[in-house]
């Protein structure tokens, strides 16, 4: 169960990184490990919490999709411009 919690937490962090969202620290890997090891929290409750956060972050990412696409295009254009400047020199 602990491995599943860590795997889902890692997935949450990946989604957050791609959407430029800061993940909730209440389920951070270190805290999750400590809580599971201490027996203070049922791993299934922790997993449910992480699942809820994943759904929330995915929804937030969808609302930011248009903006993120524009930023990605702008960054690509900047990289191309830098390459062209280096090539001209």
Question: Tens of pLDDT along 20-56?
Answer: 889 888 878 788 888 888 888 888 888 999 999 999 9
Residue matched to tokens 């919490």: 49
* pLDDT of 86 strictly over 90: yes
Nearest CA to 22 out of 57, 62, 55, 58 is that of 57
Looking at residue 54, its pLDDT comes to: 95
In the chain, the percentage of residues whose pLDDT exceeds 70 is: 100
- Residue 79: predicted pLDDT: 97
Q: Could you tell me the pLDDT band of residue 11, with boundaries at 50, 70 and 90?
A: very high
Dihedral, 63, 64, 65, 68 alpha carbons, nearest 10: 170
pLDDT for 78 beyond 90: yes
């Amino acid at each position: 169960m602990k491995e599943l919690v860590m795997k889902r937490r890692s997935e949450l962090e990946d989604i957050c990184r791609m959407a430029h969202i800061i993940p909730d620290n209440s389920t951070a890997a270190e805290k999750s490990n400590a809580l599971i090891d201490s027996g203070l929290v049922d791993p299934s409750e922790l997993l449910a919490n992480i699942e809820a956060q994943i759904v929330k972050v995915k929804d937030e990412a969808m609302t930011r999709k248009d903006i993120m696409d524009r930023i990605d295009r702008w960054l690509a254009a900047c990289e191309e411009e830098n390459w062209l400047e280096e090539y001209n020199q």
